[in-house]
Structure 1
Amino acid sequence: MIEFELAGEFIPLIQLLKATNLVQTGGEAQIVVTDGLVKCNGEVEYRKRLKVKRGDIIEFDRKKIVVK
């Protein structure tokens, strides 16, 4: 499990995937979201610009990101 400390009010989903080093580039992040490989709070998420906020749990590649 990865704990991510949020500095502002939210972070876009693709930026969160890059910031936690689960993907190498923004393009790769967009592809994995578009392909339905990312879950937000247990639901498959297709929105690349989803505003991830404190308390959200993101799942990708058998890893969980807890946003604090």
Structure 2
Amino acid sequence: MPDATPITDVSIGSEGIRLGQFLKFAGILDSGGDVKEAIIDGFVRVNDEVERRRGRQLQLGDIVTFEGRRVRVCV
């Protein structure tokens, strides 16, 4: 069954951004320390798969999920 949680579009103004940067830019997490901890602990998903690399390069259309929030990377 598909996830019914609404998706918020966040414009990054370019074609790519790293996961750690995006989590802060989108206002999902406040600090680099929080980002690192959430990713290492496996709480962040990209396109419905757990992602443990803070430096993962996100592409347009990727959907990042954390604590019930779903955010899509847009231009």
TM-score range, shorter chain: over 0.9
Match of residue 45 from structure 1: 51
Match of residue 4 from structure 1: 10
Identity of aligned residues (%): 31
TM-score between the two structures when normalised by the length of structure 2: 0.84
Once the two structures are TM-superposed, the CA of residue 22 in structure 1 deviates from its matched residue by 1.2
For residues 41-62 of structure 1, the C-alpha deviation after alignment (integer angstroms, 9 at most, x for no partner) is: 0100001001111010000010
Alignment RMSD (CA, Å): 0.9
Residue 14 in 1 paired to residue 20 in 2? Answer: yes
CA distance, structure 2, for counterparts of residue 60 and residue 26 of structure 1: 15
TM-score between the two structures when normalised by the length of structure 1: 0.92
Gaps of 5+ in 2: 1-6
How many residue pairs match? The answer is: 68
Match of residue 4 from structure 2: none
Question: Which portions of structure 1, spanning 4 or more consecutive aligned residues, are displaced by more than 4 angstroms?
Answer: none
Task: Report matched runs for 1:44-63 at 5 Å.
Answer: 44-63=50-69
CA distance, structure 2, for counterparts of residue 2 and residue 61 of structure 1: 14
Match of residue 35 from structure 1: 41
Query: Of the candidates 26, 44, 47, which is equivalent to residue 32 of structure 2?
Result: 26
1:27 maps to amino acid:
G
